[in-house]
Structure formats: C-alpha cells, structure tokens
C-alpha cells in the first residue's frame, strides 16, 4: 500500500514539475493576487489600470480578493491562458481620469486579429458610471467586456446593472467555444451581443434591458460588429427577461439577424452599413445614418483601415469572400418572458442605419430553431415570434403561450422567402377567445404547420390563421384548425 502511494505521489510531483516547467518556459506565472502589483480600492483609476495590466500581462490565474470599489480609467488587455477571478463585493468602476474609453477588458489579439485562447473571467462586476463610448480600438466592437478573435472563453458570475445607450454589456465576435453563465445585466443597451462564431452557451442569466437581452447578430450595423459571418451551434437556457419601468422598448428578448451582399461593381448604389466583396475582402460603408445613397465608381482594394473613394468611406473589415451570413442550429429552452415585448425576432435590418440584404444578393437561409419550455408571463398581444427572413424549420415545444402570435413579415428586401415548416407540440394555450396562431404578410409565402399533443385551457379558445396571400399546409389538433391535412390559401 505504501509502495503504491509513493509511486502515485511521485507521479503527481513529476506531473506538477513538468507543468510548472512548461508554464515557466511560456512565461506564465501561477496564482497571483493583483494587490501585489498595486491594484487597490485606494488607488486612482490610472494607477489601477496600470497595476491590473501588470498583473495579467503574463497570464496565469490572477485573483482580486480584497472587497471594494476599484476605479478603472482605461482598457486592460488580457491574453491567452489567463483566469481573472474577482472575490465577493469587488467592483470595477469606470472613471473619466484621462478621457472616455470603451472596454474595461479586451483580449490582446483583438487588435491584430489573432486568436487568444483559454480565458476565464469569473466574478466580475462592472459599474459603468456614465462612461459610455461606442467605439474605441476596434471598429464595430463596443462592449464594456469585449472579445474579438477568441477561443475557449468563459464568463461566469458576471454583474452589470447600469448599462447605458451606446455600449453593449458583453460583446463577443469571431469566436469558438463560448460560455456565459450566471449573469445579471440591466440597463439600456444589449445584454449579451454576439457576432460570428460557433459553439456557445448562454445560461442562468437575468436580463432587464431596454434593448435586446441577447443579440445573435450575424449581420449588424457597421458599428455593431467588427466582422460578418454565421453564428451556429448554440444553446440559450434558463434565462429571465424581466419587466422594466419603461412603457415601450426597442429590443427583443433575442434578436437574430441574417444578411446578404454582392461583389463590388461600378455604378452600384450603396448606403450606410452596406457590405460588398472586393479583391478577396469585405468592405463596409461608414457614413452618417441619414439615408444618403452614394454611387460607387472606384473599387475599394486597400488592405486595412478606411479609404474614402467617391465620397464613400470604405472600411476594410475582414479578409473573406463570403456573401451571406445568418444563424442556424440554436436551441432556446427554459426562458421566462415577463417583459411585454416581441420575444423573438428573426429578421433583416432595412433602414437608414443598416440594410442587411442588398438587392440581388444570394439569399441566406436561417436554419433549425428550437424553442422549448418558453413561458410567456405577460398578457398582451405582442407576438411570440416575428420572422422576416427565410427560415427552414421552427419547433416550439412544452411552452406556455397566451394570445401571442407567430408573425411572418416582409421588409420588401426579396421576392422569395421560401418554405417554412413549423412544429408545435406539448404546449399550453391560455387564450380565452378567437386567436390567430399565425399571421402572414408575405405574398406567396409557403408555411407548413403541424401541431399535436397540445392543451387548451379555456372554452373560448379558437385558433385561426391569416394567410395574407400565402399558402398553408395545416395538420393540427387545435380547435379552429382542421385535424386533417388541408391547404389554406387566400384568394
């Protein structure tokens, strides 16, 4: 027994020595307390910014253990293999000691578009304190907590209760493997705002935001994300959308945006935020959101930054030749919706700020959305789901729905929105009146609806459909809709 223990102990020691030597070779130090670098509740914001930067410079696990409010007057840049752990009752407070700044934390690779990996932010509490600046080092990146070009990122036990109108709270773009768990976010702008990336989970979060609680913006305003691309393979679960004091809201529980654009061609008409492919790169128009339409006569071909051609500010945003983006294979489950607003919106932008779909571009098909155990806890006629882009399949299961419709809308960006199949099963319908389960406003839109195993709570319930020039194939167990397959087409 002693021999076995001795062998086991020797093995652990050897592994530890080997790991330590590897970390030493990489310049990584193990556990560190940021206070040893001068990070203190008694220091100025400038002093604390310098001190925390020194603490995280070579990675490792950095602990902020002493309770208090720590002033921060600038961005702290963190790299790979870094864990930043904050103790109870520790707050980082943005302060204006040398001018406005955007990001409290930003990964180093965001500045050079090189991936950082294995970063953990645990227990962070940010006090915005009126420090709200839309952009800083990276065009389109605007989170108080921001990451761009990152792999294996975990943000846990996060709090921010005073988000303002310019900056998102958490902003991550161009990522692989993201976890946001146990967050409470309140304020005016987006809670968790994602750009292109894959494999993510947003869980156990409480939101009270005037704008979107969660934004899956594969396409976005030019100032809303630094790159364009597909967002896929994600789970959003165990979340609450709280009712606020505001009378109305501009956002949704989740905004899901697709986009499409074309190759540059001489004489093309462009406006603010338009994207084009040219010379193996994607460029975007940076202009005032005033509805001005520009004619492009000179092809943008610059490698980096901004070039003004024909009065158009072209920003080179990424080296890529993709022509579409969107969201696919995302599961929503265990969501409690208290705020009386459109819960979920799958759409294109089409206004003076952004035109997600350029006329004649390839059409992006968003795919495979599942909504399971969604609880609508408000009583008004706000839609449960708005759909303004092509989507192949939507599944709604085990959910509680009041008088909340599924609405299909056209922003007149394209002629064909293709077929959408909708499965609804195991749901509870609480409405006590005639109720339009689906309303359609897209001419020639094809919708296949199948419902089964649902429960109606009131005798006055009767489901209907407004076909609006579309064609429906219906197989339903709901009162008011036929149980047998039937085509419904407006005259």
Which residue ranges make up each domain of the chain?
31-251+327-489, 262-318
In the 8-state DSSP scheme, what is residue 357?
Answer: B
What is the per-residue pLDDT for 471?
93
Integer Cα distance of 478 and 461 in angstroms: 9
* Rounded Cα–Cα distance for residues 31 and 34 (Å): 10
Contact 147, 175 (CB under 8 A): yes
CA atoms within 13 A on the CB side of 243: 8
| Cα(79)–Cα(257) distance, integer angstroms | 30
* Tens-level pLDDT at each residue, the chain (491 residues): 444 444 444 443 343 444 344 444 444 557 899 999 999 999 999 999 999 999 999 999 999 999 999 999 999 999 999 999 999 999 999 999 999 999 999 999 999 999 999 999 999 999 999 999 987 689 999 999 999 999 999 999 999 999 999 999 999 999 999 999 999 999 999 999 999 999 999 999 999 999 999 999 999 999 999 999 999 999 999 999 999 877 778 899 999 999 999 999 999 999 999 999 999 999 999 999 999 999 999 999 999 999 999 999 999 999 999 999 999 999 999 999 999 999 999 999 999 999 999 999 999 999 999 999 999 999 988 999 999 999 999 999 999 999 999 999 997 778 889 999 999 999 999 999 999 999 999 999 999 999 999 999 999 999 999 999 999 999 999 999 965 445 555 43
What lies within 8 Å, CB to CB, of 201 at 6+ separation is: 178, 179, 180, 181, 234, 235, 236, 237
The strand pairing partners of 335, in sequence order, are 239, 374
CA distance 148 to 226: 8
Tens of pLDDT, residue by residue over 206-258, are: 999 999 999 999 999 999 999 999 999 999 999 999 998 777 788 999 999 99
CA distance 340 to 382: 7
**Long-range Cβ contacts of 298-303 (<8 Å, 24+ apart):** 299/264, 299/266, 300/264, 300/276
C-alpha–C-alpha distance, residues 302 and 320, integer Å: 14
Both tokens assigned to 208 = 């009270």
Contact (Cβ atoms closer than 8 angstroms) between residue 128 and residue 163 = yes
How many residues appear in the chain?
491
User: What are the beta bridge partners of residue 284?
Assistant: 275, 315
DSSP 326: -
As given in the structure block, the two tokens for residue 118 are 């294995």
Q: Give dist(CA 76, CA 39) in Å, integer.
A: 12
What is the spatial distance between Cα 278 and Cα 135, in angstroms, rounded to a whole number?
Answer: 25
Q: Render pLDDT for 84-103 as a digit per residue (tens, 0 to 9).
A: 999 999 999 999 999 999 99
**Which residue in this structure is represented by tokens 């702290």?**
76
Q: Give me the pLDDT at residue 60, please.
A: 96
Cα angle value 309/314/320 (rounded, 5°): 130
What's the token pair of residue 274? 């338009």
Q: Could you give the 3-state DSSP secondary structure of residue 6?
A: helix
Which tokens sit at 345?
Answer: 């919106």
Helices vs. strands in the chain: H and E counts, helices first: 2, 40
CA geometry: angle at 166 spanning 164 and 171, to 5°?
95
**Cα dist from 267 to 270, 298, 317, 445, whole Å:** 9, 9, 22, 33
The CA distance from 39 to 46, in Å, is 10
Which among 31, 160, 145 is positioned nearest to 83, based on CA atoms? 31
Beta strands in 195-326 (DSSP E): 197-209, 214-217, 231-241, 254-257, 259-260, 262-263, 268-270, 275-278, 281-285, 294-296, 306-309, 312-318, 324-325
Q: How far is CA 207 from CA 17, 143, 184, 240, 347, in A?
A: 44, 16, 6, 6, 22
Q: How far apart are the C-alpha atoms of 223 and 26, rounded to whole Å? A: 36
What's the pLDDT score for residue 487? 59
Contact present, 355 and 314 (Cβ < 8 Å):
no
**Spatial CA neighbour of 201 closest among 224, 175, 225, 162:** 175
Q: What integer pLDDT is reported at residue 486 of this predicted model?
A: 55
- What is the pLDDT at residue 29? 55
Burial code (b: 16+ CB inside 10 Å, e: under 16) for 107-120 equals bbbbeeeebbbbbb
The model's pLDDT over 271-291, given as tens digits with 9 standing for 90+, comes to 999 999 999 999 999 999 999
Nearest residue to 100 via CA among 148, 126, 77, 134: 134
Q: How far apart are CA 175 and CA 195, in angstroms?
A: 8
Contact 308, 302 (CB under 8 A): no
Q: Does domain 31-251+327-489 have CATH number 2.160.20.10?
A: yes
Tokens, residue 372:
């399971």
The pLDDT, as a whole number, for residue 311 is 97
Classified as helix, coil or strand, 9 is helix
387 bridge partner residues: 346, 408
């Amino acid at each position: 027994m002693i021999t076995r223990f001795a062998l086991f102990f020797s093995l652990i020691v050897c592994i530890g020595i080997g790991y330590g030597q590897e970390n030493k070779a990489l310049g990584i130090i193990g556990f560190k307390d940021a206070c040893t670098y001068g990070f203190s509740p008694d220091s100025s914001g400038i002093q604390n910014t310098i001190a925390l930067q020194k603490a995280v410079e070579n990675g490792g696990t950095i602990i902020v253990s002493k309770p208090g409010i720590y002033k921060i007057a600038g961005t702290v840049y963190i790299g790979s293999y870094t864990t930043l752990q904050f103790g109870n009752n520790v707050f980082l407070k943005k302060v204006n000691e040398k001018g406005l700044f955007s990001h409290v934390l930003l990964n180093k690779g965001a500045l050079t578009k090189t991936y950082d990996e294995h970063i953990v932010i645990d227990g962070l509490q940010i006090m915005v304190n009126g420090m709200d600046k839309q952009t800083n080092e990276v065009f389109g990146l605007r989170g108080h907590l921001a990451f761009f070009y990152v792999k294996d990122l975990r943000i846990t036990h996060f709090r921010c209760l005073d988000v303002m109108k310019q900056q998102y709270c958490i902003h991550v773009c161009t990522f692989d493997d993201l976890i946001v768990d146990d967050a409470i976010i309140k304020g005016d702008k987006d809670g968790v705002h994602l750009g292109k990336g894959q494999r993510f989970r947003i869980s156990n979060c409480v939101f009270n935001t005037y704008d979107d609680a969660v934004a899956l913006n594969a396409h976005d305003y030019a100032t809303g994300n630094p790159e364009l691309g597909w967002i896929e393979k994600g789970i959003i679960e165990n979340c609450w959308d709280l009712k606020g004091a505001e009378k109305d809201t501009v956002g949704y529980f989740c905004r899901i945006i697709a986009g499409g654009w074309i190759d540059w061609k001489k004489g093309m008409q462009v406006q603010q935020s338009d994207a084009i492919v040219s010379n193996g790169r994607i460029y975007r128009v940076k202009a005032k959101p005033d509805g001005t339409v520009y004619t492009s006569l000179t092809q943008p071909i610059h490698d980096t930054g901004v070039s003004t051609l024909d009065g158009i500010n072209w920003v080179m945003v990424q080296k890529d030749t993709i022509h579409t983006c969107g969201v696919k294979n995302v599961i929503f489950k265990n969501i409690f919706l208290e705020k009386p607003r459109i819960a979920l919106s799958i759409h294109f932008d089409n206004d003076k700020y952004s035109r997600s779909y350029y006329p004649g571009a390839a059409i992006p098909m968003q795919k495979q959305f599942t909504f399971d155990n969604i609880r609508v806890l408000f009583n008004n006629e706000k839609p449960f789901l708005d759909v303004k882009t092509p989507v192949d399949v939507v599944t709604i299961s085990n959910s509680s729905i009041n008088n909340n419709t599924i609405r299909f809308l056209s922003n007149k960006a394209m002629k064909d929105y293709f077929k959408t199949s909708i499965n609804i099963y195991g749901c509870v319908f609480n409405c006590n009146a005639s109720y339009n389960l689906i309303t359609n406003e897209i001419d020639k839109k094809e919708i296949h609806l199948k419902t089964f195993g649902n429960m109606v709570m009131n005798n006055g319930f009767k489901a209907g459909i407004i076909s609006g020039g579309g064609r429906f194939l219906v197989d339903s167990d709901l009162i008011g809709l036929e149980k047998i397959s039937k085509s419904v087409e407006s005259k």
